[in-house]
Chain A
């Protein structure tokens, strides 16, 4: 019985990966195009913006906060780029986008930590405000971008497509920061138990603030990558994308209650979601069922995670009371 539980636990622990393998097999059997190498490249290119966004979201979620404003930040920075940052080399434009996006994250972080308001409300409010400002600046028109930005989509760095390159850079930096630095350990400590972290002398407010800035920066980069892919932005740009980013993170094992998760898990979640959509596309599925399948997979992954927590609880209870009645 005990062995059985442990085996079950092992399966549940790796459930998202098993789910991914099942998907690969199913789509692979239905179409031989799905498992082609070129298609994998496509999936990662498509997943890049949302993965970058979700990496930033991971930092915020790890401290048990949430950032609903990322879509608004994407829309505003894109509008500013299209309206005011024309005629200059794109790296300067990108730098300006990052400064603005980082500042938006700083505002979120400041209000959350200084006034002690729930981040759900703060970022909900800034989402409205950012979208409003972007609509004002753009007159709710669809904005086009310069050719130098559009051609970035086809550019490669060391033979790697630009979107994948940007994604890899962000991923590598985030991984190092989160898993190899004192700051990363502090993020986990704050999310695991803020009170204990405070008693241990950690600057909790400053860490939470930094995580919001990171989420803001990632929204800026993710937005820039997605601009190069779609070439124009309208009032619906980035709408509801915060939910997609949160879903990717949660699918990859990040807890909404803080302290648990990793950037590699998040990236995996983003790629899983895009693989599903890509696979459905390749097998010519009815477009109406895309959201249904995506939602079902998110649901399944989180349900399995909940089950896992429950089994761990049960296993731990047994070791505490070995003589308890059957």
Chain B
């Protein structure tokens, strides 16, 4: 056993050539993208519309808010945290923003400053709740799951209450055109929402892969003790991920509010499990240390293609639930398989 060169060891232990050809796509980080393409090809005979521009522009516009939230969630998951409060942040930011800029008696209704101030207020809501989450985790030593569960309950309740002070109905309507234009307008053929989400994705990708802060995030997620010993400001790193997640949720709130033309306290109420599911389908680990923005993009894309194709097929809600659940389970199994093969190599 002493003189076997590592290369030879690898060859004898590794799978055969045919096996390698079969498993290479599974091991590739573009696996979920491959899955998307295969799925579209498989479903095409049943719903040819799946490759039309109309359907894809729908997929894109549905995808953007989800993607932005999922990007924020990716950061938190990489440091082995979780942010269950994102949907509540979306609701709160939407109603606070709407209360500032609505033409029906908003704080700045009709003023030229209405939209910029409202956007700022929405960001502050997200950053503020993110800060509460992050500080509770690092300063009060609380598990992220419980912290964000509690803030979610609190903020979601507060958002519904907040509306009662500003509107007689259950949401705040009358948003100015300058704001709703965010959902409808486009620049050089690209919708504003796609541009904003794209910029956020690129920035998040750069932050994670090209900066020192990005390396800190992975290090903290993989092993917080080792990270602390090597001088990484662990607490600040974790706090930052929650701030990022909060800010991302605020941006998603802008997308939802401008598309629905109202500030609704139940905007995005049902997307929490979709968001976490999409990130995990992409391959980001719930146990920290592993994850990429590109993976998250693919994960969200896959979930939306699935959702859209089901709707095109005329599947009822129950079928969508069952299939979504099965796909999440299947993706997790694939991921386990992939890890097993990777560690055996």
Contacts and interface: CB of A to CB of B under 8 A. Distances in A.
Interface of A: 111, 115-118, 120-122, 124-129, 131-136, 140, 243, 246-247, 250, 256-257, 286, 288-292, 294-296, 298-299, 302-303, 305-307, 309-310
Contacts of A140: 317-318
A288 B146 contact: no
Nearest to B324: A128
A246 B145 CA distance: 10
Nearest to A304: B140
A291 B156 contact: yes
A205 to B, nearest CB: 15
Interface of A: prevailing SS:
helix
A136 B156 contact: no
Given A124-B277, A125-B332, A256-B143, 15 more contacts: A121-B280, A121-B328, A124-B276, A128-B273, A128-B328, A129-B321, A129-B325, A132-B318, A132-B323, A134-B318, A246-B145, A247-B149, A292-B154, A302-B146, A310-B141
10 contacts: A117-B335, A118-B332, A125-B328, A125-B332, A132-B318, A243-B153, A286-B161, A289-B161, A295-B152, A306-B142
A270 to B, nearest CB: 16
A295 B146 CA distance: 10
A140 B316 CA distance: 10
A135 B332 contact: no
B269 to A, nearest CB: 10
A299 B147 contact: yes
Interface of B: 136, 140-143, 145-147, 149-154, 156-158, 160-161, 164, 273, 276-277, 280, 286-287, 316-326, 328-329, 332-333, 335-336
A125 B323 CA distance: 9
A84 B322 CA distance: 21
A305 B335 CA distance: 35
A271 B146 CA distance: 18
B157 A135 contact: no
Contact of B149 (A115, A125, A246): A246
Please list the 4 inter-chain residue pairs (A to B) with the smallest Cβ-Cβ separation, ordered nearest first: A128-B325, A132-B321, A291-B157, A306-B141
Nearest to A134: B318
A134 B321 CA distance: 10
B156 to A, nearest CB: 7
A306 B138 CA distance: 10
Nearest to A256: B143
A100 B198 CA distance: 46
Contacts of B318: 131-136, 140
A132 B156 CA distance: 25
A302 B142 contact: yes
A78 B280 CA distance: 30
A128 B303 CA distance: 14
Contacts of A124: 273, 276-277, 325, 328
A213 B154 CA distance: 32
A164 to B, nearest CB: 27
Contacts of B323: 132
Contacts of B154: 291-292, 295-296, 299
A295 B145 contact: no
Given A121-B332, A135-B317, A302 B286 contact: no
B314 to A, nearest CB: 15
A299 B144 CA distance: 11
A257 B156 CA distance: 26
Contacts of A246: 145-146, 149
B91 to A, nearest CB: 12
Contact of B336 (A116, A131, A288): A116
Nearest to A135: B318
B329 A302 contact: no
Contact of B160 (A120, A135, A288): A288
Given A299-B154, A302-B150, A125 B143 contact: no
A116 B335 CA distance: 10
Nearest to B136: A303
Contacts of A294: 153
B273 A295 contact: no
A90 to B, nearest CB: 27
Contacts of A125: 325-326, 328-329, 332
Nearest to B146: A302
B333 to A, nearest CB: 6
B151 A295 contact: yes
Q: Interface centre among A118, A131, A133, A302, by most B CB within 10 Å?
A: A302
A96 to B, nearest CB: 22
B150 A295 contact: yes
A118 B164 CA distance: 41
Nearest to B160: A288
B322 A128 contact: yes
Nearest to A121: B332
Given A125-B329, A132-B318, A299-B154, A257 B286 contact: no
A124 B320 CA distance: 14
